[in-house]
Amino acid sequence: MSSCTPNCDGGDTVEVDLSPAEIRAAYNPFEHGCWLDFANKLTQGYMAGEYDDWSPLGAHHGQWLRHLAGDADVEEDLSLLCHRDGLKTTIVTAFLVASSSTSPATGRSGR
């Protein structure tokens, strides 16, 4: 599996071969809290097989994920109310994928 990363000089991207375990560790949202980065990497992977191009998720999607993870600065219940195709199911699925492949208590891969 490969992952693209920007060059240090800000130029073109470089493709790097990484194992799925290395990618999981790098994007583990329970360890580093970057839920939006995790969800973007996850959706980028499955959009490769779709007819539409991939687009990054919005900041509000990261906010939903932080709320699901208990990282948001709110004490209320979460209700995802938005227009059709607002990616509600995608965000909940991304949280479930993260939860099933890592241990929230330790942040370590469960595989």
Distance CA(44)–CA(77), nearest Å, equals 29
Compute the average pLDDT of residues 23-32: 85
Query: How far apart, in whole angstroms, are the C-alpha atoms of residue 62 and residue 51?
Result: 25
Please check whether residue 12 lies inside any domain of the structure. Answer: no
Average pLDDT estimate for 61-85: 78
Q: Confirm whether 81 is domain-assigned.
A: yes
**Is 22 a domain residue?**
no
The span from the CA of 72 to the CA of 86, in Å, is 20
Show the domain range for 56: 28-101
33 domain residue, yes or no? yes
48 domain-assigned? yes
Least confident range of 1-5, 56-60, 77-81:
1-5
For the cut 80, the answer to whether the pLDDT of residue 28 exceeds it is yes
What average pLDDT score do residues 48-67 get? 88
The residue type at 94: A
Q: What is the pTM of this model?
A: 0.68
The total domain count for the chain is 1
DSSP H or E stretch at residue 56: none
pLDDT digits (tens, 9 = 90+) for 77-102: 667 777 777 788 888 899 998 988 76
The reported pLDDT for the residue numbered 37 is: 92
